[in-house]
Chains A and B, each alone.
Chain A
Amino acid sequence: MSKRIEVNDLNIFYGKFKAVEDVSMVIEPRSVTAFIGPSGCGKSTFIRSLNRMHEAIRGAYVTGEVLVDGQNLYASSTDPVNVRRQIGMVFQRPNPFPTMSIYDNVIAGYKLNAKRMNKKTADEKVEKALQGANLWNEVKDRLGESGSSLSGGQQQRLCIARAIAVEPEVLLMDEPCSALDPISTLAIEDLIQELKAQYTIVIVTHNMQQAARVSDRTAFFNIAGTGKPGKLIEMDATTTMFSNPKVAATNDYISGRFG
């Protein structure tokens, strides 16, 4: 269920503006890869380009290639909708669908695509996804309530349940804890540790400790200045990155000297 992602010479543009320049990296399956870097350095743009979500913004395009198990996401024959079915995403702010119940939110990926399934299969999928997101025990007695009746941390786990219910190959998380309190953050981090047994996980975070805690590999992005494109500075095993980075800028950022 998890796949290897290979990025070759990826440039990302918003119209004429080059947001990210020349990124090449390999993301291993069944591992957690963290992206760190100062605000505006292109981490979010880059993670969104991994499932073509950045195309939701007008005028965005890329050059280069992203290979998921050898299949180029940006080949002209690839349908972005199919890409997103394989590569799920969790966003910065929890965004459950306000018109749907908790139950419907979890199987929204099937419902919105009008996939027919019988009640039993749906029940199983909901329970499995909620168990997977560590939310089952908290909501099993009120699955019919609105998704927005939950707390922020629960909502975020609901969004994770929604993302894993469609059984994607890869799970992208764009600062999933930045709107949450420390206890909810801890719950999500534990969850990430469990999920990496099955999924390829990529997480963007502003929190260095979080990157150190949850990730196996860390990539550091940086920009030379405002209006300049973001670049991948260094990528290595997390322990190496935090103890013995090769580039001075990485060390400066990790030790809090800038950013």
Chain B
Amino acid sequence: MSPQDEPTSVGTRPDARPESVAAADASGLTPERFGTPGPREPAVEPDRPTGTGIGGRLPTQLSPVLLLVCAAASVGILFAFSAFSFTGAAFLTALTYTVAIFVVGAVVEGRRRAVDRVVTSLVTIAFVLAMAPLLSLLWTAVSQGAARLDPAFFTETMAGVVGEGGGAAHAIVGTLQVTGLAALVSIPVGIMAAIWLVEYGRGPLKTAITFLVDVMTGIPSIVAGLFAFALFATVLGDPGHRSGWAGAIALAVLMTPVVIRSVEEMLKLVPDELREASFALGVPRWRTIAKVVLPTSIGGIVAGITIAIARVIGETAPLLITLGFTVGFNFSMTEGRVSTLPVYAYDQFIRRGLPPEAFVERAWTAALVLILIVMLLNGIGRLIAFMFAPTTNR
């Protein structure tokens, strides 16, 4: 339908759509009811030429039905050419559905709604495209990792294991140790840096630090690993140095900017009115920060820190350099190699012994456990954020 078909005064109506006029009149939603000023349209005659079958709506159930039809047709076509594949069918279904919904929509509902349906369909396809790898990854990790998700995996180490059996208890403990130590370093530093940036910082120094934090957020993790390794090797004069501390420092370098950024955002969300209320009661700035600003934003801060931990807990490259791996427990943080889950998974996968399946299975289970730990952390973070969220109705 071309624009010339439309009445000239269409733009002044809230429902500027000629095809809806009949429906609007029927439901009593006339322009007068809206109280819209402006020139009135001529009354709509029932036999007014309405272009391409306009005024109707597609039934709600039509979209899923059409989708099924398109899917069936796609599968049929692919089988007919004996070229069936799941990806191909999904792609063809999306394509035919988009075209079909546009054609059907254009015929029944008019061009505007048809475009709306096409864009809806495109957005949905984009969403599915984004979700597909994620779900596929989760599914793979679960299906491959489930085989060794047994108590032994959590209680045994790889000491003396050359084939089947064994576990990752040492790697789980190592991951918790190293990440915990990194968190212990970077959370106080990050929170205090964020407080400085929001509450005290000003001028070029603040701009410079904000810029550096931004740059640090994008640091490749291998660089952080090399930095920590070089630091410890230089200070201790031992080019072969491996220790939990070195790994924790590497992770802290990666984690701190993330903590600063998220805490900074949360502190900025605290309304200035609360700070003023506190100042006006004769409360010094540092007490205001400690007792008003931080408690008000504690939920967001905890959530941000959880995300930062989740960000570094799966790091492999820097830990490969600074920690290496080992077959048993190493509770010393200052000396010797420490196993961690990501490096454990890498090691199991890359240095397969006999039978190779046992090694691959352990690698997948390590990956699955890592995912579970991150999910657990996120859950705890959300729970804490929920518990501390200030009840405000403003």
Enumerate chain A interface residues (CB-CB to B < 8 A): 51, 53, 56, 58, 81-86, 88-89, 91, 93, 95-99, 108-109, 111-114, 146, 148-149, 159, 162-163, 166
The residues in B between 255 and 302 inclusive whose CB is less than 8 angstroms from any CB of A are: 271-284, 287-288, 291-292, 295-296
- Please, how many angstroms separate the alpha-carbon atoms of A108 and B276 in the complex? 13
Residue with the highest number of chain B CB atoms closer than 10 Å, among A86, A97, A162: A97
| Smallest CB separation, B321 vs chain A (Å) | 44
From A83, A98, A108, B390 is in contact (CB under 8 Å) with A98
Contact B202 A159 (CB under 8 A): no
Q: Is B391 an interface residue (CB 8 A)?
A: yes
Contacts of B391 in A (CB 8 A): 98, 146, 148-149
Contact A113 B390 (CB under 8 A): no
Q: Is B393 an interface residue (CB 8 A)?
A: yes
Contact B394 A163 (CB under 8 A): no
Q: Is B392 an interface residue (CB 8 A)?
A: yes
Contact B296 A97 (CB under 8 A): yes
Residue with the highest number of chain B CB atoms closer than 10 Å, among A58, A93, A95: A95
A-B contact pairs, 13 of them (CB 8 A): A53-B279, A58-B202, A82-B282, A89-B276, A95-B273, A97-B274, A98-B392, A99-B296, A99-B390, A109-B282, A111-B291, A113-B282, A113-B287
Contacts of A113 in B (CB 8 A): 281-283, 287
- Please, how many angstroms separate the alpha-carbon atoms of A86 and B390 in the complex? 29
Residue with the highest number of chain A CB atoms closer than 10 Å, among B276, B281, B283, B291: B281
Q: How many residues belonging to B are interface residues under a CB distance threshold of 8 Å?
A: 26
Given A99-B295, A112-B291, A148-B393, check contact A88 B281 (CB 8 Å).
Answer: yes
Contacts of B277 in A (CB 8 A): 91, 95-97, 159, 162
Contact B281 A114 (CB under 8 A): no
From B279, B291, B393, A56 is in contact (CB under 8 Å) with B279
**Nearest residue in B to A90 (C-beta to C-beta)?**
B280
From A51, A96, A99, A111, B280 is in contact (CB under 8 Å) with A51
Contact B280 A112 (CB under 8 A): no
| Smallest CB separation, A81 vs chain B (Å) | 5
- Please, how many angstroms separate the alpha-carbon atoms of A212 and B277 in the complex? 28
Residue with the highest number of chain B CB atoms closer than 10 Å, among A95, A99, A113, A146: A99
**Nearest residue in A to B270 (C-beta to C-beta)?**
A98
- Please, how many angstroms separate the alpha-carbon atoms of A114 and B275 in the complex? 17
**Besides the known contacts A91-B280, A112-B283, A166-B282, 13 further A-B residue pairs in the complex with CB atoms under 8 A apart:** A51-B280, A53-B279, A56-B272, A56-B276, A83-B282, A97-B278, A98-B392, A108-B281, A109-B281, A111-B291, A146-B390, A146-B392, A163-B281
| Smallest CB separation, A152 vs chain B (Å) | 9
| Smallest CB separation, A105 vs chain B (Å) | 9
- Please, how many angstroms separate the alpha-carbon atoms of A108 and B291 in the complex? 10
Contacts of A51 in B (CB 8 A): 280
| Smallest CB separation, A171 vs chain B (Å) | 10
| Smallest CB separation, A101 vs chain B (Å) | 10
Contact B281 A53 (CB under 8 A): no
- Please, how many angstroms separate the alpha-carbon atoms of A89 and B392 in the complex? 22
**Nearest residue in B to A92 (C-beta to C-beta)?**
B273
The residues in B between 1 and 23 inclusive whose CB is less than 8 angstroms from any CB of A are: none
**Nearest residue in A to B296 (C-beta to C-beta)?**
A99
